[in-house]
């Protein structure tokens, strides 16, 4: 039985008390951030960056046209149970989101317990290292707590900021792929895919680039 499938990605952690939780809520603390479940009341913070054309389209989703759009997106986050809000401690404000999402890139490797990490950050907070801080925290949880075999990360070919983050966090480039984005009016893009295995994560000196 795949517990990640049965209970939902973060539900596994709650069930086995793998990370701090209270009343079905998850809270992961880093140096400057809290990573926690999305709340319905987060919609204003989400809309602040969701309406920005620098953020959504670079992550593969459409610009939010109203606060109602942000409310609906949060409902989806809560239902899917695979995304967390990034809260900046110093401001007690949601500045982005991050998650570990189901993915099967190679149908011949279905036995691998793998996920894809995805994230978005309010552009007002770019350049401060918040995403690497959040990504490194989820890598630790993914490999040490969830027993994942492989974690993927991808970005559009022209997104140089995400390229730097991906490489900084220890991911290894694997391949590029032409894709059509249904959430962006079937826009054609080229995505670059990177991955890091549990062994690469635990033994970075052996797998130096």
Q: How far apart are CA 128 and CA 33, in angstroms?
A: 12
For 56-169, strand residue ranges (E) read: 83-88, 93-102, 114-121, 150-156
Query: What pLDDT, in 10s, does the model give residues 136-171?
Result: 999 999 999 889 999 999 998 888 888 999 999 999
The token duo for 181 is 């984005």
In sequence order, the 6+-apart residues with CB closer than 8 A to the CB of 14 are 7, 21, 24, 26
Q: How far apart are CA 47 and CA 69, in angstroms?
A: 8
Residue located via tokens 């826009």: 187
User: Which CATH entry fits the domain spanning 3-149: 3.40.50.1100, 3.40.630.30, 3.30.390.50, 3.50.50.60?
Assistant: 3.40.630.30
What is the structure's pLDDT at 81? 87
Residue located via tokens 């939902």: 8
Query: What pLDDT, in 10s, does the model give residues 62-114?
Result: 889 999 999 999 999 999 888 999 999 999 999 999 999 888 776 666 678 89
What is the pTM (predicted TM-score) of this model? 0.86
Q: Which residues of 104-117 are buried (b: 16+ CB within 10 A; e: fewer)?
A: ebeeeeeeebbbbb
Q: Domain ranges in the chain?
A: 3-149
What is the structure's pLDDT at 107? 62
């Amino acid at each position: 039985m795949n517990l990640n499938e049965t209970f939902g990605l973060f539900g596994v952690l709650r069930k086995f008390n793998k990370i701090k939780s209270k009343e079905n809520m998850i809270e992961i603390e880093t140096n400057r951030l809290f990573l926690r479940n999305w709340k319905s009341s987060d919609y204003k913070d989400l809309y602040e960056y969701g309406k920005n054309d620098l953020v959504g389209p670079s992550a593969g989703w459409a610009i939010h046209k109203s606060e109602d759009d942000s409310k609906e997106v949060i409902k989806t986050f809560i239902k899917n149970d695979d995304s967390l809000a990034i809260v900046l401690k110093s401001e007690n404000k949601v500045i982005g989101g991050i998650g570990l999402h189901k993915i099967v890139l190679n149908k011949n490797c279905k036995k691998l317990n793998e996920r894809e990490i995805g994230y978005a950050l309010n552009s007002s907070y770019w350049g401060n290292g918040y995403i690497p801080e959040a990504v490194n925290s989820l890598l630790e949880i993914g490999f040490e707590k969830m027993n994942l075999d492989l974690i993927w990360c991808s970005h559009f070919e022209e997104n140089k900021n995400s390229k730097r983050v991906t490489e900084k966090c220890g991911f290894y480039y694997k391949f590029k792929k032409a894709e059509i984005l249904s959430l962006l009016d079937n826009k054609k893009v080229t995505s670059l895919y990177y991955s890091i295995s549990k062994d690469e994560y635990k033994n970075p000196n052996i797998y130096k680039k």
